[in-house]
A and B are shown apart, each in its own frame.
Chain A
Amino acid sequence: MDTMFVNLGPQHPSTHGVLRMGLTLAGEVITKAVPDIGYLHRGTEKLMEARSYAQCVVLTDRWDYCSAMPNNLAFCLSAEKLLGTQVPPRAQTLRVVMCELNRIASHLIFLGTYGIDIGAFTPFLYVFREREMILDLYEALCGARLTYNYIRLGGVASDVDADWISKCREFLEFFKPRVDEYDTLLSFNPIFLARTKEVGLISQSAAVSWGLSGPNLRGSGVSYDVRKSEPYCGYEAYDFDVPVGEHGSCWDRYFCRVQEMRQSVRIVEQALAKLPEGELSAKVPKIPKPPPGEAYAHVEASRGDLGIFLVSDGGAAPYRIHVRAPCFINLAILQDILVGKKVADVIAVLGSFDIVLGEVDR
């Protein structure tokens, strides 16, 4: 049969012009898929080599702009390892609260946009209502809704007050029944199930060998979560589960995220309940100059295992920095699993990976 080459995408809202898929089709069936990334070319890693560590935090906000707090955190953890800084307990707890809220906000975007990918528009409006509430909390706290620059070297930038905490609790109470609504609207909707349940299957071994992480890995049934395996910021003290899927289908990946939102609510509740008093930040020089050496720290960001490798030559700016961006690595498996699928499934599979291209082409 003759084959045809088709350029598919950019299609997902967060791929805005950066991800193109070169598909070779035999009729409706894909015989070859090449995800072609590029065109963003911001070169953050290079830019950071000319900036002080405190200024680098600002740039980290731009990788995964749907959930910037874990980016801040990963960089700060790595830099703090270099500097040997001890972060005070209050700052640790606030970091956890902010990152978990950000996970909810990020998964909400996924939920809405994935609904759109499959053809359900209404949930998109609902998820933004809830996301806005989280962004309002952020705005009240640190002044920004998208690029927070909140987690800083040695601690966090500003403190929460009683008013903020009560607003945050209000949000959690408002949010909990909403997740059940999403289950009704999407998760157990027969049309949604038909489009996602048996589609885009990734076996455990494939998921591991392609280096997937985050909900994409856990959807295949591998219970790996950095928060459990290498706890940071005191995650070992929180009581939460790591949801895993069964078959590694699009639906499993989707449902992992829904369940993770419930777990994040649990973590935030625990963190707010035990928020210790004390300092917001350790003493860090204005322009820190860590001793020569290297450090690696990773966190469980909303989209997977985000790692930062830092090399210092003793100067005020990092000598070299490398980002292990989960979205970039999650994308590679597409060329494997799309082969043999129908065109209509490409959208469902791509959407289920929840990519943010800011992180793919840093």
Chain B
Amino acid sequence: MIAYFRLVFRSTWAFVEGLWITLRYLFKPSVTVQYPTEKLVPYDAFRGALLFDPATCIACSLCAKACPSACIALESQVHPETKKRVPKVEWYTLDLGKCNFCGLCQEACPTKPKSVWHGLDYEFAFSNRDEMVRCWKPGFPLAGRVWDPKKKAFRDLESHIPVRDVEARR
């Protein structure tokens, strides 16, 4: 009988102790962020969606060689008269569907500032596989475009949800 009441008392006491901890936290400021109305800006080192700048790229292919997932493909421009390759990029594609955000391409890029780099953008949702392949060409906007294999042409992203509240960092 005594053992029974001791058990009841011990369990009740443990319950009260647990509640006491919870109660103390009840009056502390909450750590929850009300996403998506509230957003966290990542740290500067954050490896978010990759960005590319065709103006500075020298088409050296070091990034493509460094990439463990073979996400990157590019072609360099050809001089119209001599037909020789020039250190300028003709087009550059990056498959965000394969990318594992390791940062090796960014580290391999020899240009200053980097021609391929991780932006701070972490909000990119796609509704189909094709849109994950982004393409950059000289004269195209920074965010890149999609290569449409059916139409054999580039097009703007349609269903990509571009939330660009976080500024592009270089």
Q: Which residues of A contact B (CB under 8 A)?
A: 51, 54-56, 58-59, 122, 126, 129, 132, 136, 139-144, 147, 149, 158, 181, 184-185, 188-191
Chain B neighbourhood of A149, CB < 8 A: 102-104
16 A-B residue pairings within 8 Å (CB atoms): A51-B68, A54-B104, A55-B66, A55-B68, A58-B68, A58-B102, A59-B68, A129-B31, A132-B31, A140-B45, A143-B43, A143-B47, A144-B101, A184-B17, A185-B21, A191-B14
**B11, A140: Cβ atoms closer than 8 Å:** no
- On whether the beta carbons of B18 and A189 are closer than 8 Å, the reply is yes
Q: A318–B18 Cα gap in the complex (Å)? A: 52
Interface size class of B (residues with CB under 8 A): 20 to 34
What is the distance, in angstroms, from A163's C-beta to the closest C-beta of chain B?
11
Contact flag A143-B45 (CB < 8 Å), given A122-B18, A149-B103, A185-B18? yes
Q: B10 touching A122 by the CB < 8 A rule?
A: no
Residue ID in chain A nearest B7 by CB atoms? A190
Say yes or no: B45 contacts A141, CB within 8 Å: yes
Contacts of B10 in A (CB 8 A): 190
A139 and B43 form a contact (CB under 8 A): yes
What residues on A are CB-neighbors of B44 within 8 Å? Answer: 140
Complex partner residue of B22 from A59, A122, A143, CB under 8 angstroms: A122
Pick the residue among A54, A139, A191 that contacts B42 (CB under 8 A): A139
With a cutoff of 8 Å between Cβ atoms, the chain A residues found around residue B68 in the complex are 51, 55-56, 58-59
User: Does B100 touch A at the CB level, under 8 Å?
Assistant: yes
Distance, CA A140 to CA B100, complexed state (A) = 18
Bound Cα distance from A122 to B118, whole angstroms = 36
Listed in ascending order, the chain B residues whose CB lies under 8 Å from chain A are 7, 10-11, 14, 17-18, 21-22, 25, 31, 42-47, 66, 68, 100-104, 118
Work out how many contacts link A and B, with CB atoms closer than 8 A.
Answer: 59
> What separation, in Å, do the CA atoms of A153 and B101 have in the docked complex?
18
Which of A58, A129, A139 interacts with B45 by CB under 8 Å? A139
Which residue in chain B gives the minimum CB-CB distance to A56? B68
Whole-angstrom CA separation of A189 from B17 in the bound complex: 9
Give the residue among A55, A56, A147, A188 with the most B Cβ atoms within 10 A: A55
Complex interface: chain A residues within 8 A of B21 (CB): 181, 184-185
- Determine how close the nearest CB of chain A comes to the CB of B22; give it in whole angstroms: 6
Give min CB distance, B108 to chain A, whole Å. 8
Q: CB-nearest residue of chain B relative to A136?
A: B43
Given contacts A59-B68, A144-B46, A190-B14, 13 further A-B pairs with CB under 8 A are A55-B68, A56-B68, A58-B102, A58-B104, A122-B18, A139-B43, A143-B45, A147-B100, A184-B18, A185-B18, A188-B14, A189-B14, A191-B11
- Say yes or no: A55 contacts B46, CB within 8 Å: no
Q: Which residue of B lies closest to A62 (CB)?
A: B100
- Rounded to whole Å, the gap between the CB of B14 and the closest CB of chain A is 5
CB distance from A115 to the nearest CB of B (A): 11
A299 to chain B, nearest CB (A): 21
Question: Could you tell me if B47 and A55 are in contact, using CB atoms closer than 8 angstroms?
Answer: no
- Find out whether the CB atom of B45 lies under 8 angstroms from the CB atom of A158: yes
Q: Could you tell me the distance between the alpha carbons of A297 and B14 in the complex, rounded to whole angstroms?
A: 45
Query: For A56, what are the chain B residues with a Cβ–Cβ distance below 8 Å?
Result: 68
Q: How far is the CA of A189 from the CA of B15 in the complex (A)?
A: 8
A143 engages B104 (CB within 8 Å): no
Complex Cα distance, B22 from A55, in Å, reads: 45
Nearest neighbor of B68 in chain A, beta-carbon distance:
A55
For the complex, what is the distance from the CA of A141 to the CA of B42, rounded to whole Å?
12
B126 CB to nearest chain A CB (Å)? 20
Q: Is the CB of B11 within 8 A of A190?
A: yes
Residues on the A chain within 8 Å of B31, using CB: 129, 132
- Chain B residues near A132: list those with CB within 8 A: 31
A47 CB to nearest B CB, Å: 9
CA distance A139 to B104 in the complex (A): 16
Which B residues are in CB contact (< 8 Å) with A158?
Answer: 45
The 9 tightest CB contacts between A and B, nearest first, are A55-B68, A143-B47, A143-B45, A140-B43, A58-B102, A149-B102, A189-B14, A58-B68, A139-B43
